[in-house]
């Protein structure tokens, strides 16, 4: 396995040159605006070029990031929330009264659109809730497949969950969950089960593979994956044809086209800008291969997690009242998104800890529910104060983590 050239990775992000430590995630665009910023679909040369870039090059690049089967399965939208809202709107005619939706207590992106669709169509919402994995820490919770399966009945129509929680930092065994859910649904006599996967917190850290996972919908944000503020949505061709009605103008011929879920069209310069993400990821290792790049990313990120997790779970921090939210141990199912609260005899607000970082300057972290409102409301008494979140990615360095730990010592004193 090739190691990650962190210096090269950092050189691709000018914002890192001033020394600020980004511990809260966040080329082609100007080329498109300068040379092909016209309405596509016409016959003149600039429009032909615009059409090729927006309708061919960008979907083909994003198809590879999803490992989808066809560029026709790719939808672009202003955000993951917008993409899933449009998807839910497009499914209204295929949802019946009494259908059942199973959702988690995760980021509202993959919860709200389905619960609102259920309310509009008279469907029933069930919640797959996380439960404690360590009896000594009630905040160390996770999703267990054995607690999902009893929720599935003959009426189960939608299962929506996250590949990785943006607060728990744990990667779920996606393929095993999908396989088990489909097996139980079939045994129960379900006529159609479609599975929606939120990959926003997963995409920066691991390789997506919608075909291997056997999911029907998957979504991620390019701005979380080092690109422009736009989202990519995968919709399986069979679902596109059989489950979804167009949400675009009635006269457009889009029966089997992903464009049926792009009302008004996204920002085309941003769509074209997404191809730079694939180019960047391929450049990270000599193999020019996505799997090799993500293997290198994973290896490096484990080095970032180890010192931070070791500090936060040390006996003295445990005695101080520090409690990790989510997985407490280092491993390949752990990404470098680490959340914690401070409880006990000397509790400390999450906002007060972040304030110490803000006063010190040079490091960006945050606190709150981070849009996983249901999850944090389930775990803490003040949902708005929520938890402290430190979110690292592959361009962070071990030296930056050491600086974060130094400020944490001050904040926890």
pLDDT tens digit sequence for 188-213 = 999 999 999 999 999 999 999 999 99
- Mean pLDDT for all residues in the chain: 92
What are 272-295's pLDDT values in tens digits?
Answer: 889 999 999 999 999 999 999 999
d(CA 359, CA 75): 42
Q: Summarize the confidence of residues 47-55 as an average pLDDT.
A: 76
Per-residue model confidence as pLDDT tens digits over 74-103:
999 999 999 999 999 999 999 999 999 999
Q: Give φ, ψ of 174 to 5 degrees.
A: -55, -50
For residues 340-362, average pLDDT: 96
Contacts for 362 with CB less than 8 Å, ≥ 6 apart: 19, 20, 21, 403
**Bigger pLDDT: 18 vs 235:** 235
* pLDDT surpassing 50 at residue 227: yes
Percent above pLDDT 70 for the chain:
96
Both tokens assigned to 400: 């930056």
Question: Residue 186: what pLDDT?
Answer: 97
Nearest one of 264, 297, 302 to 283, comparing CA atoms:
297
Asked if the model's pLDDT at residue 140 lies above 50, the reply is yes
**148-181 residue pLDDT tens:** 999 999 999 999 999 999 999 999 999 999 999 9
DSSP state of 53: I
Which residue's entry shows tokens 């079939």? 186
Instruction: List strands edge to edge, sheet with 156-162.
Output: 74-77, 231-235, 217-221, 194-198, 156-162, 100-104, 124-128
Strand 231-235 to strand 322-325: parallel, antiparallel, or no bridges (unpaired)?
A: unpaired
Confidence of residue 12 (pLDDT cuts 50, 70, 90): confident
pLDDT at 66 over 70: yes
pLDDT above 50 (res 321): yes
Residue 8 burial (CB count, 10 A): 11
Residue 1's pLDDT is 57
Q: Are 103 and 247 in contact (CB under 8 A)?
A: no
Model confidence at 50, in pLDDT bands (50, 70, 90)?
Answer: confident
Considering only CA atoms, give the Rg of the chain: 22
Q: Is the pLDDT of residue 217 over 50?
A: yes
What's residue 257's pLDDT?
Answer: 79
Give the global pTM.
0.93
- Both tokens of residue 176? 């095993």
Instruction: Give the torsion sign (CA, 284, 286, 292, 296).
Output: negative
Q: What is the pLDDT of residues 372-401, one digit of tens each?
A: 999 999 999 999 999 999 999 999 999 999
Read off the pLDDT of residues 232-268 as tens digits, 9 standing for 90 and up: 999 999 999 999 999 998 888 777 778 899 998 788 8
Q: What percentage of the chain reaches a pLDDT higher than 90? A: 79
What is the Cα–Cα distance from 355 to 350, expressed in whole angstroms?
A: 9
pLDDT at 35: 67
Does the pLDDT value for residue 26 go beyond 50?
Answer: no
Of 248, 278, 270, 227, the C-alpha closest to 77 is 270
Q: How far apart are CA 251 and CA 261, in angstroms?
A: 14
Domains and CATH numbers, the chain: 6-23+287-412 (3.90.1150.10), 28-281 (3.40.640.10)
Instruction: Report the pLDDT averaged over residues 34-46.
Output: 74
Q: Under the phi-then-psi rule, with left for phi > 0, alpha for psi from -120 to 50, and beta for the rest, what region is 226?
A: left
Asked if 185 contacts 157 with a C-beta cutoff of 8 angstroms, the reply is: no
The pLDDT value given to residue 240: 95
Q: Can you tell me the mean pLDDT for 351-364?
A: 95
């Amino acid at each position: 396995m090739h190691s990650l050239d962190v210096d090269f990775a950092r050189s691709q992000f000018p914002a890192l040159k001033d020394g600020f430590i980004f511990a809260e995630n966040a080329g082609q665009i100007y080329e498109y605006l300068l040379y092909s910023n016209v309405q596509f679909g016409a016959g003149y040369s600039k429009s032909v070029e615009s059409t090729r870039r927006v309708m061919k090059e960008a979907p083909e690049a994003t198809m590879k990031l999803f490992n989808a089967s066809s560029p026709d399965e790719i939808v672009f939208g202003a955000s993951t929330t917008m993409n899933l809202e449009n998807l839910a709107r497009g499914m209204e005619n295929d949802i019946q009264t009494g259908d059942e939706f199973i959702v988690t207590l995760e980021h509202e992106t993959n919860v709200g659109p389905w619960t609102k669709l259920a309310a509009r169509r008279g469907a029933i919402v069930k919640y797959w809730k996380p439960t404690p994995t360590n009896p000594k820490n009630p905040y160390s919770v996770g999703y267990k497949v054995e607690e999902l399966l009893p929720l599935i009945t003959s009426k189960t129509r939608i299962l929506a969950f996250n590949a990785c929680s943006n607060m728990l930092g744990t990667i779920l065994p996606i393929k095993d969950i999908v396989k088990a859910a489909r097996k139980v649904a079939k045994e129960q006599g379900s006529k159609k089960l479609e599975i929606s996967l939120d990959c926003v917190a997963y995409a920066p850290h691991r390789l997506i593979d919608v075909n291997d996972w056997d999911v029907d919908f998957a979504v991620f944000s390019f701005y979380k994956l080092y690109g422009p503020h736009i989202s990519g949505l995968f919709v399986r061709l069979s679902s596109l044809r059989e489950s979804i009605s167009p949400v675009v103008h009635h006269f457009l011929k889009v029966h089997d086209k992903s464009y049926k879920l792009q009302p008004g069209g996204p920002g085309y310069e941003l769509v074209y800008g997404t191809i730079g993400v694939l180019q960047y990821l391929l450049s990270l290792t000599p193999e020019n291969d996505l799997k090799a790049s993500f293997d290198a990313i994973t290896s490096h990120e484990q080095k970032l997690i180890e010192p931070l997790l070791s500090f936060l779970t040390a006996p003295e921090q445990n005695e101080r009242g520090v409690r990790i939210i989510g997985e407490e141990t280092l491993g390949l199912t752990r990404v470098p998104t680490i959340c914690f609260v401070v409880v006990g005899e000397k509790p400390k607000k999450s906002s007060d800890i972040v304030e110490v970082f803000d006063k010190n300057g040079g490091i960006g972290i945050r606190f709150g529910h981070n849009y996983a409102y249901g999850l944090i409301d389930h775990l803490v008494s003040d949902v708005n104060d929520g938890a402290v979140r430190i979110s690292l990615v592959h361009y962070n360095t071990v030296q930056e983590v050491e600086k974060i730990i130094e400020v944490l010592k001050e904040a926890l004193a």
